[in-house]
Amino acid sequence: METTIYNQKGQETGKMKLPEAIFGVSWNADLVHQVVVSMMSSARHPIANTKTRGEIRGGGKKPWQQKGTGRARHGSTRSPIWVGGGVAHGPRADKNYDRKVNKKAKAKALYTILSKKFKDGEILFIDSLSFAEPKAAEAKNTITAFSKIKGFEKFGTKPKNVAIITVEKKTPTLIKSFKNFGNLEVEEFRTINPVSVLNHKYLVIANPKESLKAFE
């Protein structure tokens, strides 16, 4: 299994063999769905919170006597049926949405997604990515060069989530150069996960020989 390597200017520089264990995995929709749902669920941090009748201040005194008034009997003004009372079955901020997935399943799902993107021609391999100084103009030139490569035309037109650019190690220069492009993300290759890869149209892998060592 071979792929073409490009440089920062969008020119071909050579070929590279890719590991079958990462880019030659057959599609498994059930596994990918299980892992993605688990990761998105675990990332939830609920904010909405209501108090139960036991957490509302006051209400310790019986509002009126049990018998003789003609009114319905009540034991507390903090009952859920009272205005200002507690809430029954309301949202709680302490609810745990975590879903456990085995590390091997998570890794297999990532390899499955990478294989699918590679077969669809949505992974771009470049020999290196660096700038002498943080300049958005340089980053813009790089994006324009990538958009001229066959199959990556949307690099310059897609308004949202066009690509995740992965490097062996993030530098302040790279981060500052691309920070004004809201449709791009710069990450270290070892930190990518199934959700981030699926959320973007393209995946750019800089210095693939060194980056892929993170999965060995």
pLDDT number for residue 179: 87
Find the DSSP H helices in 24-159.
Answer: 29-42, 103-119, 136-147
Range of the domain at 172: 2-44+99-215
70 and 172 both lie in a single domain: no
pLDDT number for residue 130: 86
pLDDT number for residue 162: 86
92 and 22 both lie in a single domain: no
pLDDT number for residue 64: 94
55 and 88 both lie in a single domain: yes
CATH for 33: 3.40.1370.10
pLDDT number for residue 26: 94
Q: Among 197, 180, 177, which Cα is nearest to 133's? A: 177
Tell me how far CA of residue 58 lies from CA of 79, 117, 164, 198, in angstroms.
11, 60, 54, 51
Number of domains the chain contains: 2
122 and 58 both lie in a single domain: no
107 and 184 both lie in a single domain: yes
Average pLDDT for runs of 10 along the chain of length 216: 89 90 94 95 92 92 94 94 94 91 93 94 91 89 90 82 88 89 88 92 91 83
pLDDT number for residue 170: 87
185 and 115 both lie in a single domain: yes
